Structure 1
């Protein structure tokens, strides 16, 4: 995998997930008991935290941004398992989160190597 492809995957997954969260909770299937605003306040801010680093191509941001994907993996996985009505919505969420995860990990690794930021092996004494 090349650095450009990894970055493309990371950005597709990132912006896809950002747009998908808005579409899902705001338009396609709003929660019946909770307001759209509340749902977006719960799901959206976490994705906005790394926007500057993702756009600038900072490998460090790409590396730590994968930790913020856990709620989306968990949410998607639980709904795929338990909710037939929103299963396809959850599958899209899982695909986008996985795309971002793979893209971010490879981009951080490859770009970090290009910049000489890789972790060195410990020397034997």
Structure 2
């Protein structure tokens, strides 16, 4: 059975853009009035780390994909801890966990299998 690295690449893109869009929608539209901090500050804190590996991820750069996997772990930790603590926003945080895991596993397996083919 041949393992196609494209499947993992597309999984990582779905996780990346899902996390990116979800964080933007969550902090601007869905929970903007519940925030204790200004919306712009929340967007800078949450979305800026995702912008760092974006260009390399879109160009299929293995190093940028690996960094995206590392960055996704911070979103996983935040989502998992807050899901346990904050019952009011549990659904939002569960989606953050889901997208961060998609990004992590997609980029990890993409780097692993693309490294074997080159």
User: Structure 2 length as normaliser, TM-score?
Assistant: 0.92
Q: What do the CA deviations read for 1:4-43 (whole angstroms, capped 9, x no partner)?
A: 1000101000111111110111111124321110100111
The 1-side partners of 2:117 and 2:66 are apart by: 15
The root-mean-square deviation of aligned C-alpha atoms, in Å, is 1.1
Aligned residues: 115
The 1-side partners of 2:27 and 2:10 are apart by: 25
> Which residue number in structure 2 is paired with residue 6 of structure 1?
8
> Which residue number in structure 2 is paired with residue 49 of structure 1?
52
> Which residue number in structure 2 is paired with residue 101 of structure 1?
104
| Bigger Rg over Cα | 1
> Which residue number in structure 2 is paired with residue 68 of structure 1?
71
Corresponding residue to 1:39 among 39, 42, 45: 42
Displacement after TM superposition at 1:70 (Å): 2.4
> Which residue number in structure 2 is paired with residue 79 of structure 1?
82
Deviates more, 1:68-77 or 1:17-26: 68-77
CA change 1:33–1:64 in 2 (3 A) is closer
The 2-side partners of 1:69 and 1:103 are apart by: 11
Displacement after TM superposition at 1:108 (Å): 0.4
The secondary structure found in structure 2 opposite 1:32 is: coil
> Which residue number in structure 2 is paired with residue 122 of structure 1?
none
Q: Which runs of 5+ in 2 are unaligned?
A: none
Q: Which runs of 5+ in 1 are unaligned?
A: 116-125
> Which residue number in structure 1 is paired with residue 30 of structure 2?
28
